[in-house]
Amino acid sequence: MSTVLFEKEGFVGTITLNRPDKLNALNAELVGELHRVLAEVRRDKDLRALIVTGAGDKAFAAGADIAAMSTMTGPEAKAFGELGHAVGAQMETLAIPVIAAVNGFALGGGCEMALACDFIHASTKAKFGQPEVNLGVIPGFGGTNRLARRVGIGRARELCFTGDVIGAEEALRIGLVNGIHAPEELLGKVKEIAAKIATKGPLAVAQAKRVLLRGLDVPLPTANELEVQAFAALFGSEDQREGMAAFLGKRPANFVGR
């Protein structure tokens, strides 16, 4: 697989979008390979966190490949959009946290891929936007509603209607990203966060991710019931016993994911 790279260090995996000569623009080949790599990640029971980033120092993904899209028919565009949505759903529903390390442009489909991750850290040089209206179309990989859930409906409307591109500082201010770092420090900082998560109870992290995702789309009492069920389900696991014994024994916990 040439357009998507994957490496694993201990409990942490890193996916790199790898078309640096095209600013990692998302064509059908790259999105299809990403779909396959994520399916392999789902089967890897040793992973506890995943990082997604872009090759080079200019772009996470500058958007979808406009040259490829310019000749698409309606049915072809629908199939491409559905593939992008499938990838976003894969990242959202993985049992492990997915962190975007945005090292440059994250525009259009690139911004949408970042939004499908659990949270985003960015380089000070990062740029975000959903500029599809400049091309006579709208976001097609889930950007409209994921953006609204991340930054609020008003800001999402403005970004989608104007096609404006914002920098890292503004993205941090409106809650699109969680932190910004010097370009040369970004990936190292994100790896530190991923490694920290990997020391926590993996069953607990998975349940927290599931409840946070599902709770967004249901009334608060239903979301709270989901939380109670998940909380109770963790009792009796080896990790729960180990975590509490470690706390009481004033030692680091050794979680095994059971």
Q: Which residues of 218-251 are buried (b: 16+ CB within 10 A; e: fewer)?
A: eeeeeeeebbeebeeebeebebbebbeeeeeeee
The answer to whether residue 238 is catalytic is no
Catalytic option among 112, 184, 225, 227: 112
* Euclidean distance between the first and the last CA atom of the chain, given in angstroms as a whole number: 33
Q: Rounded to an integer, what distance in angstroms lies between the CA atom of residue 242 and that of residue 253?
A: 6
The answer to whether residue 185 is catalytic is no
Catalytic option among 29, 132, 158, 192: 132
Q: Rounded to an integer, what distance in angstroms lies between the CA atom of residue 178 and that of residue 190?
A: 11
Question: Which residues form the catalytic set?
Answer: 112, 132
